[in-house]
Amino acid sequence: MKTMMTDLTGLLSKSLNAWDSNRDRSKQVEVGPSSLGGCRRQVWHTIKNTPETNSNTEKLAAILGTFIHAGVADAIKREDPFGDNFLIEQAFEHNGLKGHCDLFIIDEGIVVDWKTTSKKNLRYFPSEQQRWQVQVYGWLVSNNGYKVNQVALAAIPRDGTMADIKFHIENYDVTVAEQALNWLGEIEQLVKDGAPPPAPEKYAAYCNSYCKFYDPIGVAGCSGITK
């Protein structure tokens, strides 16, 4: 048997990380809808434009999610090839907040946000953070001249079947969007006032794998919650 000389693991991980780092969303430094309701400390660092202190975060799930989003977008385009009724991966901005809406169906006035997950995590769907995010997308779309009636979340399990895809649909509610925007405003005010940052909200082991601001000594970034 011929020996494989190429390090396939290294090749794949290097290629995926390089691809991800060059995406527009990866380069975005502003706080987007997906961060609302998440870790306050992480958002504080994003607003402060803190230099990245942890470059070795685990990105595979997020990258696979991006691939699935791109595939879904391409598939959905077939249902409206001329873009008369579907706005797909459309960028919206209002009052300085930017976001990419996965799908807006104009004639029904419904915003749809695709979420990739695992079957075991379907029991936590939808989270408050996910509901805040899709309502803020509704707020962005509405403030760009469209009539929004409902918002929908679709959970697509990477290890599931078509029958496992789960939907959550609710009426568009500007008060829910405003809760998320007020949450962000409070953190922005902390930064403006030069106040201390919010306390860490995630354990260090998690932050080490998933947060670009993880700093074990807590000087430049965040040390996370330590036992």
Locate tokens 């697509």: which residue?
156
Structural domains in the chain, CATH included, are 60-195 (3.90.320.10)
Residue 116: name the closest of 169, 64, 161 by CA.
Answer: 64
- Does the predicted TM-score (pTM) go above 0.85? yes
Is residue 222 within 8 Å of residue 213, measured between CB atoms?
yes
Per-residue pLDDT of the chain (227 residues; tens, 9 = 90+): 566 556 777 887 888 878 877 765 545 468 999 999 999 999 999 999 999 999 888 888 888 889 999 999 999 999 998 889 999 999 999 999 999 999 999 999 999 999 999 999 999 999 999 999 999 999 999 999 999 999 999 999 999 999 999 999 999 999 999 999 999 999 999 999 999 999 999 999 999 999 999 999 888 999 999 87
Q: In the structure encoding, which two tokens stand for residue 6, read together?
A: 């190429």
Q: How far apart are the first and last CA of the chain?
A: 50
Give me the pLDDT at residue 134, please: 98
Residue 98: name the closest of 35, 30, 148, 150 by CA.
Answer: 30
Give me the pLDDT at residue 147, please: 98
Give me the pLDDT at residue 156, please: 95
Q: What CA–CA distance (Å, rounded) separates 95 from 179?
A: 16
